[in-house]
Chain A
Amino acid sequence: MSRFRFPSRGVLTPTATFAVLLATYLVGVFSFEHFGSAAVLRNLLVDNAFLGVAAAGTTVVIISGGIDLSVGSLMALSAVVVSALVGRYGWHPAPAMLVALGGGAAFGAAQGGLIRVLALPAFIVTLAGLFLARGLAFAIQAQSAAVDHPFIARTLGETLALELPLGPRGMSLPPTVPALLLVFAATWWLLRRTPFGRRVHAIGDDAEAAALMGVPVAATGVRVYALSGFLSALAGLFFLLYQQSGDPASCRGLELDAIAAVVIGGTLLRGGVGSVVGTFFGVMTLGLIQTLITFQGDLNSWWTRIAVGALMLAFLLGHAALDRLAERARRAA
C-alpha cells in the first residue's frame, strides 16, 4: 500500500472550485479597470444572496441523494404570500414572513413524505411541486405587486444595513449579505457537526447500508426536504427584499442555477459527497461569470448559460476521472 494519500474529494473539489473562482476574478481584474473595486464584490454578494440561500438548501438535498426542482417556484410563492398578506390584508411583514417560512418548510416536508415514505420518484414529486407552487403563487396574486411597508423599506432596508468604510462614500451592505453568510455557516455546521448531518451523508451515500446501521432513512429524508423548502422560502424573502416586490412570475428556473452552483461546487449528484463551502464558491463563480460578461459588453448574456454548462461538464468529467482513478487504485491494492 502506498503511503501517498490522495486528498479526499470533500477537500479537493471545493479547492478546485475556489481556484476557478479566483481565476475568473483575476481574469476580470486584469481585463477591466474597475473590476477589482470593492463595489463589484459587494454587488456580487448582494445580487446573488437569494441564489446562495436556495443553493444551500439544494446542496443538502443533493447530498442526501435527492433532487429538488421546486425551489424557484417556492421562492416566488413565499415572496407572493408576504406581499399579499402585507399589501392586501394589512399584516405586519414579520408574522407574514414567519408564515411564508413555515409554509415553505411544510411544503418541503410534504414533498419529502411523498418521496421518502411513499417512495415516489423525487424528480416527479418536486416537478409537480414546481407546478403547484407556481400555480398557487399566481392564484394568490396574479400580478407583481410592490411591497410598501416601513418595516421592509426602513427597518430591513436601512436600519439593519451595514455601513462599510470602503470607497469614497462608504458602502452600505443590506442585511441579506450577513444573513447569507449566516445561512451558509449554519448549513455547514448542520452538515458537518451534527448527527443530522452525518445521517444526511449516510442516506445519500448508501441508503441501504444506512438503514442497516440504524439510520432512520425516511425521517431524515423528510427533514431534508423540509429544510430545503424552508431555505427556498427564505431565499424568496431575500428576493422580496432585493426587488421590494412580490412577483409570482419571478425566479423561474432558479432551481437549475442552484443545481448548477452545487455541481460546480463539487457536490456529487449521486449523493453522499459534497460541501456547502464548495456551493458558496459555485454561487460566487456563477455570479462572477455574469459580472464578467456584463463588463465585457459585447459578449451577450447567453454566454453565461453556455459557460455554466461547460463548467458543469468540466466538473462532471473531473469527477468521472477521479472515479476511474479510485477504481484503478482499488484494483491495484
Chain B
Amino acid sequence: MTEGWGREALRTLGGPLAALAVLVAFNALFTPGFLELEIREGRLYGVPVDILQQGSRIAIVALGMSLVIATAGVDLSVGAVAAIAGAVAAVALRDGGHAPGTAVSMALGASLACGLLNGALVVCLRLQPIVATLILMVAGRGVAQLVTDGLIVTFDEPGFAGLANAAFLGLPRPLWWMVGLFVATAAIVRGSNLGLFIEAVGGNAAASRLAGVPDRRVRVSAYLFCAGCAGLAGVLECSYIQAADANNAGQLLELDAILAVVIGGTALTGGRFSLPGAVLGALILQTLTTTLYMQDVSADVAPAPKALAVLAVCLLGSPPLRARLRELARGGGAAR
C-alpha cells in the first residue's frame, strides 16, 4: 500500500498542486505585498495566513463532502446545517449560559441529527441524494431562523470567540481545527476499513453488497460525518464573527465545498475520494478568491472567473471530449 501511495497521490494531486503553484506564482509576481508576512505579538499576519484562515472553513466542509461524493452522493444541505449549528451554539451561549464546550456539543449534536435525516432519506427511502438533501437545504435555514427568532444573536463569551479568533503557534486557530480534522479523518478513514467501504459502495453498490459490505450503514455514516463537518464550520463562523446570523451564515457553503472537491480532482460520479485533494481544492478556491480581490475584482464579480475555472477543470475530464480529441489526434496522424 505504501509504495503505491506516493505515485497515486502524485497522480491525483499533481493537477491541483500545479494550479495552486501557478496561482501563488502569479500573485508573487503581480500582486504587491502578497507574500509579505510579519509577526506581531507572537502571531503571523499576511495574505497567505488570511487565505489559510478563510480557506479552513471551506476545507472542513469539503472533507465531509468528499466522503459523501465518494459514496456517489452529494449533500446540498451543508450551508443550512452550518447555519443551524451556529444558531444553536449562539442561543445556548446567550440564553442558557452554557459553557463553550457544551454549546459546541449542542451545535454538533444538532448537525448530526440533520445528517441522520439526510442519510435516512437517501438510504431508507431511496431518494436521490440531490433531492433528499435539497429538502434540508430549503427548510434548514428556516429552522436556524426559528432557533434565533430571526435575529442576529450575539453573545459575550471570550472562550467561544477564541475558537476561531485566537492563534496557536502563531497561526490562526481555524487552521489547526482543519488540520486536526484532516489528520483525524485520514487516520480513521484510511486506517480502518471505512475508506475501502466508502469507495467500494460508491464505485459499485451492487458488487459491494454481494461482498458483504454494510452499504446502508456506510452511506448513512458518510452523511452523518458530512453534517458534522458542516456543523463545525458553522460553529467556527459563529465564533469568528461572534454572532449567529441565521440568514447569511454558511451562504453558498454547499457550492464552495462541492467546487473544492471537484477542483481537488474528485469526480462527482463517486467511488473515489482524496482528502488532501479536498483540502487543496478549498485552498485553491480561496486563493483564487483572494487573488481576484487583490486584483480589484469586486467580491460580487469574483464568482464568474471561479465558475470558468471550474468548468475548465471539468472539461479536462469530459470522456467524450477526450475521446474526440484522441480521435482527432489519430485522424491527423493517419490522414492520407
Contact = CB atoms under 8 A, between A and B. Distances in A.
A302 B127 contact: no
A117 B137 CA distance: 30
A127 B304 CA distance: 11
A37 interface: no
Given A123-B130, A135-B302, A128 B307 contact: yes
A302 B84 CA distance: 13
A249 B299 CA distance: 12
Contact of A132 (B121, B134, B143, B308): B308
A131 B307 contact: yes
A249 B143 CA distance: 24
Nearest to A128: B307
Given A130-B255, A269-B130, A301-B150, A306 B142 contact: yes
23 contacts: A118-B320, A119-B318, A120-B314, A121-B314, A123-B74, A123-B268, A124-B310, A127-B258, A128-B310, A131-B255, A131-B306, A132-B304, A135-B306, A138-B300, A142-B301, A256-B134, A263-B131, A302-B141, A308-B139, A310-B139, A312-B134, A313-B139, A317-B125
A283 to B, nearest CB: 15
Given A119-B320, A124-B314, A316-B131, A131 B303 contact: yes
Contact of A131 (B74, B128, B304): B304
B145 A256 contact: no
A322 B294 CA distance: 54
A300 B320 contact: no
Contacts of A306: 139, 142-143, 146
A118 B145 contact: no
B195 to A, nearest CB: 23
A305 interface: yes
Given A131-B255, A135-B301, 16 more contacts: A119-B320, A120-B318, A138-B298, A138-B301, A139-B301, A139-B304, A269-B131, A301-B145, A302-B145, A302-B146, A302-B246, A305-B139, A306-B143, A306-B146, A320-B125, A320-B126
A214 B168 CA distance: 64
B333 interface: no
Contacts of A305: 138-139, 141-142, 145
Contacts of B134: 256, 259, 263, 312
B315 to A, nearest CB: 7
Given A124-B262, A124-B268, A270 B128 contact: yes
Categorize the interface residue count of chain A: 35 or more
B33 interface: no
A303 interface: yes
Nearest to A260: B138
Contacts of A117: 320
B190 to A, nearest CB: 26
B206 interface: no
A249 B246 CA distance: 19
Nearest to A252: B251
A125 B314 contact: yes
A157 interface: no
A139 B132 CA distance: 35
A248 interface: yes
A309 B314 contact: no
Contacts of B131: 263, 269, 316
Contacts of A127: 255, 258-259, 307, 310
Interface in A116-164: 117-121, 123-125, 127-132, 134-136, 138-139, 142
Interface of B: 74, 121, 125-128, 130-132, 134-146, 149-150, 246, 255, 258-259, 262, 268-269, 298, 300-308, 310-311, 314-315, 318-321
A46 interface: no
B248 to A, nearest CB: 11
A270 B298 CA distance: 38
Interface string A270-303: 1000000000000000000000000000001111
Given A124-B268, A135-B300, A303 B138 contact: no
Contacts of B298: 138, 142
A176 interface: no
B309 to A, nearest CB: 9
B203 to A, nearest CB: 17
Contacts of A317: 125
Contact of A256 (B132, B137, B269, B302): B137
A128 B205 CA distance: 29
B81 to A, nearest CB: 13
Contacts of A263: 131, 134
A171 interface: no
A249 B251 CA distance: 14
Nearest to B145: A302
Nearest to B269: A121
